[in-house]
Amino acid sequence: MSKTLNVLLAGFGGQGILFAGKTIAYSGLMDNKEISWLPSYGPEMRGGTCNCSVVISEESIGSPLVTQPDVLIAMNLPSLDKFVDAVVPGGTILVDSSMISKKVERTDVNVYYIDATKIADERGLKGCAIIILVGKMFKEVGFCTKEALDKGIQKVIPAKKAAMLGLNQEALKIGMES
C-alpha cells in the first residue's frame, strides 16, 4: 500500500455503504493509521444514491473528500457510471455483479466482479453483500493487517447488535476466499 489509500464506496441507501466505510476506517485505525470517513448526507440518502469517502494514510489527511479513488466499490449501476472514470489508472474497482450486469470498459484498472448480493442471500447473510466486497478488497489491496481487520469489524458493531458480528465475519471470509 502506498502512503495514502483513497476509497470510495457507492450504491443505494440501505446497502450498508456507510457501515462498510466505517469497517474499513476502523480497521485502518487499529493499525494506527490516519483515517477519515466522510458520508454523503441529505435527501439523496433516502432511497437515492449514497456514497462514502474513506482515506487511510501514513500521514495527516488533507481533504477527506475522495475525488480520485484508488479503490471504488460499486453497488449499483448509477454509482458505477458516475465514478468509473474517476478511478486512478492502476486503481481497483470492485463490482457487485448481482446488481450491475455491465462490464467496465477501461483496461487500465483492476476490476473484480463478485456476485455479492446473490451469494449473501443464498448464505443467509442478507444485507452483508458489501462486506463480502470489503473482504475481497482486503485480499486484493491489503488496506490493513488481518489482525486489524478482525478488530475493526468488532469495533464497528455495537454491543447491542452483537448477533450481527458472526454474519459479518462470515461475509468477510467469503470475500477473502473469492
Partner 1 sequence: MAEKVLMKGNEALAEAAIQCGCKHYFGYPITPQTEIAAYMSKRLPKEGGVFLQAESEVAAINMVLGATAAGVRSMTSSSSPGVSLKSEGVSYIAGSDLPALIINVQRGGPGLGGIQPSQSDYWQATKALGHGDFQMFVLAPSTIQEMVDFVPLAFEVGEKYRVPSMILSDGMLGQMMEPVEFPEKKDTAIAEKPWATNGHQNKRPKNIVNSLYIEPEVLENLVKERYERYEKIKAEEQRAEEFMTEDAEIVIVAFGASSRVARSAIKTAREEGIKVGMVRPITLWPFPEKAIEKTIPTAKKYLCVEMNMGQMVDDVRLVVNGRKPVEFFGRTGGVIPTPAEVLDQIRALAGKEM
Residue numbers of the site for partner 1 (CB under 8 A)? Answer: 22, 25-26, 29, 34-39, 41-42, 60-65, 67-68
**Least distance (Å) from partner 1 to the CB of residue 113?**
30
**Least distance (Å) from partner 1 to the CB of residue 87?**
15
Residues contacting residue 16 through CB under 8 Å, at least 6 positions apart = 127, 128, 129, 130, 131
Return the C-alpha cell found at 123.
448464505
Nearer to partner 1, 38 or 176 (CB): 38
**Least distance (Å) from partner 1 to the CB of residue 28?**
9
Residue closest to 145 by CA, chosen among 41, 28, 42: 28
**Least distance (Å) from partner 1 to the CB of residue 64?**
5
Alpha helices, DSSP H, located in 31-125: 77-83, 116-122
Residues contacting residue 110 through CB under 8 Å, at least 6 positions apart = 90, 91, 92, 93, 140
